[in-house]
Amino acid sequence: MTTATCSVLGTLPDGRAVHTWRLAAAGISAEVLTLGAALNAVRCPDRDGHLADVVLSPREPADRYNAARYLGAVVGRYANRIAGGRLPTADGPVALRPNENGHTLHGGPDGYDLRLWEARPVGSGTGVELRLLSPDGDQGFPGALEITVRYTLDDSGALTIEYAATTDAPTCVNLTNHAYFNLASGTDDTVLDHELHVAADHYTPVDAELIPLPGAPRPVAGTPFDLTSPRRLGDLVNAPDEQLRLGGGGFDHNWALRPGAAEPRTAAVLRHPGTGRTLECLTTEPGLQVYTGNHFSGSFTDAGTGRPVQRHGGIALETQHFPNSPHRPDYPSPWITPDRPYRSTTVYRFGVS
């Protein structure tokens, strides 16, 4: 049986309270913050039954505004990058607020990760639903957006995240959770000994500013991006490959997942041989951004381990529409309308091999 409880984590500079919602079921627990609708912790057992937190989160909450920004948060209105901070619309280009090399990343400088979301329990106490209103013109995006994100945890160890959004005018939406996972949880400071499988035969190569190159997604065969069978991350991120160099010394790329039905299908499986912990990621989305924490430098401390988070200290598995899709009519469309709302589901299933 799943339980959901709420407590106060602290207050923002303006005096508003940040709450923590704790979900627990069958020996696994998850914590969700109202700040950024962030997944703050997941405690699950290893093969010997020892519980540990496998989600990176900053020990100092203030780090969420700088060195540890995006950790575990729901990012948007458009996760990943929109080139040039410009949104092409039927009425002409719309200027967005840029925040990375002139591009708009994860919704802009004041994205949803920095917002305080409203929360309430759902499902007879089995989860929490968070709600955010994003007005017309928010970070430049057209259309008012009403967003709900629902986290539920079940006895099988599956944490389900259901996203929904409605709008009063055409707009583009691409929401994801930006959690970083380290299944070793203190037994290893990096994820380089983790094994990763991604159910994709193609990926989208990028330029020096991490914008997808023109043309169709590229086959993974014969490259370090071939994760069609499980491969050890440490054997890949330092390979002599130009795309890995552009990614900052590792993966920061979108995989074009194999098409599936409306129900969530397996996108990736992460495994840590040392502890036996596994994480299966399922989604209804067309893409998966794999990011191997290439920018971490020890500038903040992880709450779970009490250690500075080093390079490759965690891996993000971000279910998504492709980067820069508003500029790419050849990609799956991220546009929604008043009569065609946004729906997306991602499942993180934790287990032991």
Tokens representing 327 are 């500029």
Give dist(CA 227, CA 287) in Å, integer. Answer: 14
Q: Rg of the Cα trace of the chain?
A: 19
Give dist(CA 30, CA 199) in Å, integer. Answer: 26
Active-site pick, 178, 253, 312, 321: 178
Q: Is 113 helix (H, G, I), strand (E, B) or coil?
A: helix
Cβ atoms within 10 Å of 120's Cβ, excluding its own = 11
Q: Are strands 171-172 and 335-336 parallel, antiparallel or unpaired?
A: antiparallel
Inter-residue contact 110 to 103 (CB < 8 Å): no
Active site residue 318: yes
Q: Is 198 helix (H, G, I), strand (E, B) or coil?
A: strand
Residue 128, CA distances (Å) to 11, 25, 154, 293, 302 in order:
20, 14, 13, 28, 24
Inter-residue contact 187 to 224 (CB < 8 Å): no
Active site residue 31: no
Q: Could you tell me which of 36, 3, 2 has the C-alpha nearest to residue 19?
A: 36
Active-site pick, 31, 195, 318, 321: 318
Q: Could you tell me which of 283, 293, 295, 348 has the C-alpha nearest to residue 320?
A: 283
Which active-site residues does the annotation give? 178, 318
